[in-house]
Amino acid sequence: METLYVIKIGGNIIDDEHQLHSFLETFASLEGNKILIHGGGKLATKLAEKMGIQQQMIDGRRITDAETLKIVTMVYAGYINKHIVAQLQSLGCNALGVTGADGNLIQAHKRKHATIDYGFVGDIDLINTGLISNLLTQNMAIVAAPITHDLKGNLLNTNADTIAQELAKAMSQEYRVELIYSFEKNGVLLDVNDEHSVIPKIDPLKYAELKSKELIFEGMIPKLDNAFAALQSGVNKVIIGRAEDLLSLVTGEKGTMIIHE
């Protein structure tokens, strides 16, 4: 079974041109099948402010009204996605930039919540694994923007971490999938103020212990919940760590590895 790297890159790296280029150099050098999922929230927020469109966040999730949907689509699926693709082409990596609407890649539905109207925010229903496999067999690196669709003509803003998890889970039937969450931290930290306090491995028992002692930074809990959900659905390995250490994350030398037991 071939290996497939499903790599999510955090928004803070995208905001830094030097760090982004360095990361993409490493990504381009990775041999084999690979998918890159990106967000890009800060640029969307800045553009919304310039246009006088107020932004509302609840628990780190953007409320996506009709005007905000236009902005995030322009930024995520437009500038950021194509900028990354162009950079990869310059590095000799043939890449194709997509959203969930392209080729019916990712179907989703508008999020339903008892008390909060998230607007045009999507929760994933289906991944088109056949299309992804076809693109990968053509030695194409896939660069996915976090925009999905609902088969009713609506685009939906969908969390990039969740897209990475769902893609990894869906493709684990055909590939040995390694899911990598790369961002600005060295990994999961025991002390959020100490970059050297990386926890090298976390299994379910360790995770439960850390949470009970409130030693896990609150913002990291959704990532870890996603990681364990992915492992339970067939993903081979999940790694969380610094984007500039991508090669070392792949080899297991750095970052935090999330394991079954």
Q: Is residue 53 part of a domain?
A: yes
pLDDT tens digit sequence for 177-194: 999 999 888 999 988 888
pLDDT digits (tens, 9 = 90+) for 12-61: 889 899 999 999 999 999 999 999 999 886 888 898 889 898 888 877 67
What does DSSP say about strands 57-58 and 61-62: parallel, antiparallel, or unpaired? antiparallel
Domain that holds residue 75: 3-183
Give a yes or no: residue 161 inside a domain: yes
In a domain? residue 236: no
197 within a domain of the structure (yes/no): no
Predicted confidence at residue 76, as pLDDT, reads: 96
Q: What is the mean pLDDT of residues 109-131?
A: 94
Q: Show the DSSP H helices in the chain as ranges.
A: 11-14, 17-29, 41-50, 66-72, 81-90, 129-137, 160-171, 204-212, 221-232, 246-251
Structural domain includes residue 85:
yes
Residue 241: the pLDDT is: 94
Give domain status of residue 163, yes or no.
Answer: yes
Beta bridge partner(s), residue 178: 5, 237
The number of folded domains in the chain is 1
DSSP calls for 16-81: -HHHHHHHHHHHHH--SEEEEEE--HHHHHHHHHHTT----EETTEE-B-HHHHHHHIIIIIIIIH
* pLDDT tens, position by position, 56-88: 887 767 789 999 999 999 999 999 999 999 999
**How far apart are the C-alpha atoms of 2 and 174, rounded to whole Å?**
8
CA distance 41 to 133: 29
The predicted model scores a pTM of 0.93
CATH number at residue 33: 3.40.1160.10
